[in-house]
Amino acid sequence: MGRPVFSAANYTILGRLLFYLPYLSPLHPGRVLSTFLGLDAIIEAITINGVARLANSDLPPSHQSVGGALVKAGLISQVVISLLFMVTVGVFHWNCHFHFQRRRPSTTTTTTSSPSLGSASASASASEEGSGKYHLQRPVPPSRKLKRIIKTLYISTILIIIRSIYGIVTAWDGLRARQQRTIPGVINRQEWFFWTWDGIAMLMNIYLWNLYYPGRYLPSDCKVYLSPNGDGVTETMGPGWKDERKWWVTVLDPFDFVGIVMGRDKKLGKFWEEEQEREREAEERRKRDLEMGSEGGEEGGKDGNGKGGKSKGEKDQKSWLGRIVQAISEHNLVAGG
């Protein structure tokens, strides 16, 4: 398996990671795979076009030189795309670092979540304990499990870059030998270079993602996200990421640079902020209910003890006695008349 396969796997994992923490995402999580994979497809098309020109001996030397330039440009662009991907991971890592510094996660695995989480995330093995409370069977704290995935993305991308640099060196040497009509250099004649910088690098990539399989740390449903104002382990079922822009605009501008410049990005609906607002309103209602209940208890105690007031039962009893006396008196009046 070559670079595009491992790169596509990394793009998919980063997208799922951004779905899990949407409030820390530097771009639309659903556009990570389409954007980077689309750039890779363009680069592969350029490289294949260059190789086809080089392999066609019927073309004039000038066209073959253009083919060699296209191959060089495509191979260098592969490294540039991998570096851009690492920058995206780094921005997300930076956001996570400051977020978890402000909200230090709890060591307990008992979390509070919406009741729909149990049906949506079967891998969590959630068991109900009271109203809306679950035990999530993920003993790894979020800060630690996120670090594992992010570090694995770093290492995997570095291995891909090493393999791409090896491809650049071998291509440069082959083109030089073709142009000068000489024997290729030692890097193209010795097989151990290939096994070291290509075969072993990709084999390490395979073992790396099997050792730190992301499915152990991320929920199976991309709508489940980590609550931004919880204890660090609370997961909530959300409606999913929404972007009001047209799909082709999100592909061309996944980072929404136009929206940032025009201030339109602040108007987009962010479901985690709506969830926070609902939680704040619910907490305020609970506090008001508790305060009203405590004030009612104090007033009842004061009426019954401090001011010699009468309890509700005594008042009800006297009202019933008054009605009976009134009925008897009315009956006597009717009988006397």
pLDDT tens digit sequence for 270-285: 666 666 666 667 777 7
Question: Which pLDDT belongs to residue 168?
Answer: 93
Q: How many of the other CB atoms lie within 10 Å of CB of 323?
A: 10
User: Which letter does DSSP use for residue 255 in this model?
Assistant: T
Looking at per-residue pLDDT, the higher value among 303 and 185 belongs to 185
Q: Distance (Å, rounded) from C-alpha 30 to C-alpha 12? A: 9
Which amino acid is residue 15, in one-letter code?
A: G
pTM value? 0.67
Q: How many CB atoms lie within 10 A of CB 270?
A: 14
pLDDT-derived band at 135 (thresholds 50, 70, 90) equals very low
The helix-helix angle for 142-180 and 61-102 (nearest 10°) equals 170
Whether 187 contacts 193, CB under 8 Å: yes
216 against 281, higher pLDDT: 216
* Distance of alpha carbon 171 from alpha carbon 173, whole angstroms: 5
pLDDT band of residue 88 (cuts 50, 70, 90) is: very high
* CA atoms of 201 and 156, how far apart (whole Å): 9
* Residue 183 one-letter amino acid: I
